[in-house]
Amino acid sequence: MFSIPSQQRTAPTELIQLAKAQANEVITNIRGIDYIMLCSTDGFELTSIYKKNPYNSTKLAAVSSSILAMVSAFLNEIQLTGCQSITLDAENGKAILTSIPAPHHPMVMVTLSNKDVLLGQLLYSLKQASAAIVAADQT
C-alpha cells in the first residue's frame, strides 16, 4: 500500500474535492482532530483542512513523503505487505499517516489530533474515507 509509484504531483480537481469532502467528514465527526492534509506520494500538498493552528503544509507534506519511503523500505525488509496506516503516539497528541492506494492518483492522508482522540473511531473513519477516495479514482 505504501509504495511510491511515479505519478503526477496532483490529481484531477474532482478527485481532490471528493477527498477534501471525505476529510471534512472525518474532522467534523471525530472529536479531537486539529488538522487533516492530503498529499501526493511524492510530497506535495493537494488540500488541507484544520480547526486550529495551521501547520506548514509544504514541509509537512515533504516529511510525510519521506516517512512513507522509509516505512516502505522497512516493510519490504520484514516482508509485510498491505500497510494501511502509521500511527505516531506522542505525549501531546497523535499523528496518523493513512495510505490512499488510488490506482491513478495515490495519496497520503495526514491527520493530527490531540492525545484524547478515540483512536479506534478515528482509524475506522480514515479507512472509510480512504476506501471512498480509491473507489472514486477507479472510474
- Cell numbers representing residue 38 in the block: 492530503
Q: How high is the mean pLDDT of the chain?
A: 88
Which positions ≥6 away from 118 have C-beta within 8 Å?
30, 31, 32
With the C-alpha atoms ordered 10, 8, 111, 20, is the resulting torsion angle positive or negative?
positive
Q: How many helices (H) and strands (E) does the chain have?
A: 3, 5
Q: What is the mean pLDDT of residues 78-94?
A: 90
Distance CA 111, CA 82 (A): 20
Q: How far apart are CA 97 and CA 41, in angstroms?
A: 11
Q: Distance between CA 89 and CA 82 in Å, rounded?
A: 21
Domains annotated for the chain, with CATH where assigned, are 13-137 (3.30.450.30)
Average pLDDT over residues 119-138: 94
Q: pLDDT per residue over 14-67, tens digit each?
A: 999 999 999 999 999 999 999 999 999 888 999 999 998 778 889 999 999 888
Helices 119-137, 13-29: crossing angle, 10 deg rounding = 160
